[in-house]
Chains A and B, each alone.
Chain A
């Protein structure tokens, strides 16, 4: 039984369908490992007891036609789950129990999966290292005191550490792809509008997307197929024909044109990253694809644009956490005093910092100079991609400008922390799909990822490219189980 948690989602599904494994076997195995993995601090809330009940119930009357039959799964604690505490990693929602389910998780349970628990994340998904969570740091399974990345740090840690077969995260500026890259797993940020935002605690509405995180590309494709749906409850959800991503997955990418954007060769980028990128270029060529040098001239403006747009939207999205309807409330002399104390005590430093930035850039006299300017630059960034996609089918870049860093290393310098997302942010600004796949290790043995960016709604294409590359790369994650005593 010990190897159950090492199996991929695809294998587990097959073994359950062939009755080689029961849902109870699988659920037990992941619960056992999760319980031994407290040191990772990947979970905020576990639901192990009822998960086991659900697994037993499933086994009594197994519906093997489902896509995720009896598969246990933990999810990022940004997804509202009915009757299960949902915190968004924040003190302000520390006691919040939704009476409703997010569309994305609903889709997952409808396909037979079972909730294991809620995974740690940066507070309101604002962070790149999982260090802003009210519930503490998450440890990377790669090494002690290493950040798993963020904001879906708990999710990355749980998948890489085999605490859950797969998971879902959310990605506003890189929050799926960067932690996937840091922990040696696969993470997909879908096209904006592909997955419903209904029931996901909002960070920045025009950037947020839920997406799958998995051990391999095929698992990722399968989970994406489950979570992506048109939802009339989300006005930004897009009604387009969705593929059977896992069934249509192919490693045949012959003749595909892959763009290599010169602007991603940034100053100070470690040679290891540059080498990895070159290796990636060779891999896609080996797969029969063609690489073409392209230019995305406004790339360097993406991060400043992001740090206007995202905080602006967040400052407004987080106004609802005021101590009135739910969540934490501080005692106050009067209404305003209550608001100010609740929000000061309920939000952590990074969230407060971003609310302040967002409030400032929207405030009277600064709107045009910042917010409007940013929306114009965002248009230029989108135009860059539109131009590029006239010549290429997808774009290949590194996922991050460096490998994972130590806990505490960047906490005192917000800008250097923000720079982590330099390669992922443009994708969110343009609403495009992007996938990070593990592609190698740095000198310390830490994983490094490559990112494939697609055209809007062209998830199948980047999944195929990732699938073909995965075969060539043959990446093996170095998980030593250091945290298990």
Chain B
């Protein structure tokens, strides 16, 4: 649990305020076809080319549910340690909008498919548990485009009917950092499960953020505002900061906070009221009579449970135990499934005589740096796990030095070349022949007689000079450990 001194508080004159945050995350289900229709879900298609008669709500068209989406939701529920409801009901949420062709969204209101669960966050000060209120399945809406024409709005229904999971947290989050950790954890779990790709740029993961503030120590919740449809973690954090401060200012001025829906303006970094009150929505939820209650058997759920891969929390535990990694290192490796996959493949390919610490350092150091500079995901790494493992082994068994390894690594990037080939072709193999090195060092001492004398007289700093000269003379290939030993002896 977080320590006092790291609490996120908003300070005003004599008062301190705590921020209370709950999130409604909309995660697009990874599936080929839509929740209630058979059109495709691919991102980036030409407008209105992935729209069926059902998606565009033609007269007489009816929804038929996609089994895979149901499974995805249940799997996610299992990943969130949540209760799976064997009976759930689809409701209609009625409202008019240009990109909502049916005039209602099919969602789950009273009886969601997944009930309460929890997620563990690794915060710098320890672990924090965040409660999950529920997860339900619903349809996405289409897209209204307002800037293609001065008089008109254009509507693209490609997204209309795509399956979403709405994951509602309890109001357990207390700071923008926790929100960051929570979103990343959810994303991580869903990517492990393969239920959502978590791609925020493409809108696969968005959130409505509920923010309220209360005097520090207070047990009651303040009036909350909902910030709609924020599509990046950074914006969520900025929106929370702005909104919390706005609310605190209102309290300090003795004003009241209106419970309302607000919008985050990403240009001005501020939230603003979205709808006037007289237009307050009344969604008139009722069970969709075109669908029956969704019933799943114990067996159905059990089969899905057996299908759940090792999730980040368990993987982290195993990495710590099996590979003796620090929790910090383990966290870095497990948080993204592709990193974990890469790491595990490297470990497997390194064979018996492996140096896991070295591999971890190289992954989090050199590899991450290259990926960063090239803006690549680890799944697109220019160096395969196999060649990466060979490189680590080359260092480990003394074939090349760490320094040469960096040179080799840079050469590997261009075309995923086998490091052994590079070492051979470029003659980068480490010199570990004591006789050859002795001859080399004798020559250096001879050429620098004065410095050698100075060293012997006590100017120990000069040792480094000799090491450097020796390495230089060997073209960097000399085994540094041997150089050290021989120099000590000779000098």
Which A residues lie at the B interface, using CB under 8 A? 80, 86, 88, 93, 96, 98-100, 102, 197-202, 204-206, 232-236, 312-313, 315-316, 318-320, 322, 324-326, 335-336, 339, 359, 362-364, 367, 371
Q: Output the least CB separation between A127 and chain B (Å).
A: 18
Whether B290 contacts A236 by the Cβ 8 Å rule is yes
Residues of B within 8 A of A (CB): 53, 56-65, 92, 94, 96, 98, 101-104, 153, 155, 282, 284-286, 288-292
Please judge, given known A-B contacts A319-B96, A363-B284, whether A313 and B289 are in contact too, CB under 8 Å: yes
Provide the bound-state CA to CA distance between A316 and B96, in Å: 10
A199, A202, A320 — most chain B CB neighbours (10 Å)? A320
Q: Shortest CB–CB separation between residue A318 and chain B, in angstroms?
A: 8
Do A86 and B59 have beta carbons less than 8 Å apart?
yes
With a cutoff of 8 Å between Cβ atoms, the chain B residues found around residue A88 in the complex are 59
Could you tell me the distance between the alpha carbons of A371 and B289 in the complex, rounded to whole angstroms? 13
Known contacts A98-B58, A199-B60, A205-B289; is-contact A325 B101 (Cβ 8 Å): yes
Chain A interface SS verdict (over half): loop
B298 to chain A, nearest CB (A): 23
* A197 / chain B contacts, CB cutoff of 8 Å: 60, 62
How far does the alpha carbon of A335 sit from the alpha carbon of B97 in the complex, in Å?
8
Partner among A80, A234, A322, A324 whose Cβ is within 8 Å of the Cβ of B59 = A80
How far, in Å, is B152 (CB) from chain A's closest CB?
10
Pairs A–B under 8 Å by Cβ, sample size 18: A86-B59, A98-B59, A99-B53, A100-B53, A102-B60, A197-B60, A198-B60, A234-B64, A316-B94, A319-B103, A325-B56, A335-B153, A362-B94, A362-B285, A363-B284, A364-B284, A367-B285, A371-B286
Cβ-closest chain A residue relative to B93 = A316
Nearest Cβ distance between residue A328 and chain B, in whole angstroms? 13
B62 touches A322 (CB 8 A): no
Q: A198-B60, A316-B284, A318-B103 given. 18 additional CB < 8 A pairs?
A: A88-B59, A197-B60, A198-B61, A200-B60, A205-B288, A206-B289, A235-B290, A236-B289, A316-B92, A316-B94, A319-B96, A320-B102, A324-B98, A325-B56, A336-B96, A362-B94, A363-B282, A364-B282
- 7 nearest interchain CB pairs? A319-B103, A205-B289, A362-B284, A206-B289, A199-B60, A320-B57, A201-B59
* Cβ-defined partner of A232 (8 Å) among B61, B64, B104, B290: B64
Q: How far is the CB of B399 from chain A (nearest CB, A)?
A: 63
Cβ contact of B103, chosen from A205, A235, A322, cutoff 8 A: A322
The B contact surface, by secondary structure, is loop
Contacts of A199 in B (CB 8 A): 60-61
**Chain B hits for A234, CB < 8 A:** 62, 64
Shortest Cβ distance from residue A315 to the other chain B in the assembled complex, whole angstroms: 8
User: A325 to B153, Cβ gap below 8 A?
Assistant: no
With A and B bound together, what is the CA distance between A362 and B153 in angstroms? Answer: 30
B residues near A363, Cβ cutoff 8 Å: 282, 284
Shortest Cβ distance from residue A363 to the other chain B in the assembled complex, whole angstroms: 5
Q: How far is the CA of A139 from the CA of B375 in the complex (A)?
A: 74
Contact A319 B58 (CB under 8 A): no
Cα–Cα distance between A197 and B289 once the two chains are bound (Å) = 12
B60/A236 in contact, CB under 8 A: no
Query: How many Å from the CB of B222 to the closest CB on chain A?
Result: 24
Q: Which residues of A contact B291 (CB under 8 A)?
A: 235-236
Q: How far is the CB of B132 from chain A (nearest CB, A)?
A: 27
Partner of B62, one of A86, A198, A359: A198
Residues of B within 8 A of A320 (CB): 57, 59, 101-103
Q: Within the complex, what minimum Cβ distance (angstroms) separates B4 from chain A? A: 43
Q: Is the CB of A235 within 8 A of B65?
A: yes
B354 smallest CB distance to A (angstroms): 54
Contact between A362 and B62 (Cβ–Cβ < 8 Å)? no
With CB as the reference atom, state the residue of chain B lying closest to A87.
B59
| Cα distance, A339 to B62, chains bound together (Å) | 23
Q: Are A325 and B282 in contact (CB under 8 A)?
A: no
Quote the shortest CB–CB distance from B50 to chain A (angstroms).
16
> With the chains together, A352 CA to B62 CA distance in Å?
23
Residues of A within 8 A of B59 (CB): 80, 86, 88, 93, 96, 98, 201-202, 320, 326
Expressed in whole angstroms, the Cα–Cα distance for A477 and B63 within the complex equals: 43
A319, B289: Cβ atoms closer than 8 Å: no
* Complexed CA–CA distance, A201 and B285 (Å): 22
Say how far A362's CB is from chain B's closest CB, in angstroms: 4
Check A201–B286 contact: CB distance below 8 A: no
Which residue, of B57, B58, B92, has the highest number of chain A Cβ atoms within 10 A?
B58
Q: Tell me the complex Cα distance, A201–B56, Å.
A: 14
Contact partner, A236, options B65, B94, B292, Cβ 8 Å: B292
Distance A198 CA – B291 CA, assembled complex (angstroms): 13
Q: How far is the CA of A339 from the CA of B98 in the complex (A)?
A: 10
Is A324's CB under 8 angstroms from B155's CB?
yes
Minimum C-beta distance from B337 to chain A (A): 35
The residue from B53, B96, B290 contacting A339, defined by CB atoms under 8 A apart: B96
How many Å from the CB of A99 to the closest CB on chain B? 8
User: Could you say which of A318, A322, A359 has the most chain B C-beta atoms within 10 Å of its C-beta?
Assistant: A322
A164 to B362, CA, bound (A): 82
B158 → A minimal CB distance (Å): 14
User: Which B residue sits closest to A320, measured CB to CB?
Assistant: B57
Chain A residues with Cβ below 8 Å from B53 are 99-100
State in angstroms the CA–CA spacing of A202 and B92 once bound together: 15
Complex alpha-carbon distance, A336 and B286, angstroms: 24
A313 → B minimal CB distance (Å): 5
Chain B's closest residue to A232 (CB) is B64
In the complex, which residues of chain A have a beta carbon less than 8 angstroms from the beta carbon of B103? 316, 318-320, 322
CA distance A234 to B63 in the complex (A): 7
User: CA–CA, A233 to B38, complex, Å?
Assistant: 11
Give B293 Cβ to nearest chain A Cβ, in Å: 11
Q: How far is the CA of A204 from the CA of B284 in the complex (A)?
A: 16
- Residues of chain B contacted by A93 (CB below 8 angstroms): 59
Residues of B near A201 (CB, < 8 A) are 59-60
Q: How far is the CA of A234 from the CA of B96 in the complex (A)?
A: 25
Residue of B53, B92, B96 most packed against chain A (CB within 10 A): B96
Chain B: which residue is nearest A336 at the CB level?
A: B96
B60 with A319: CB separation less than 8 A:
no
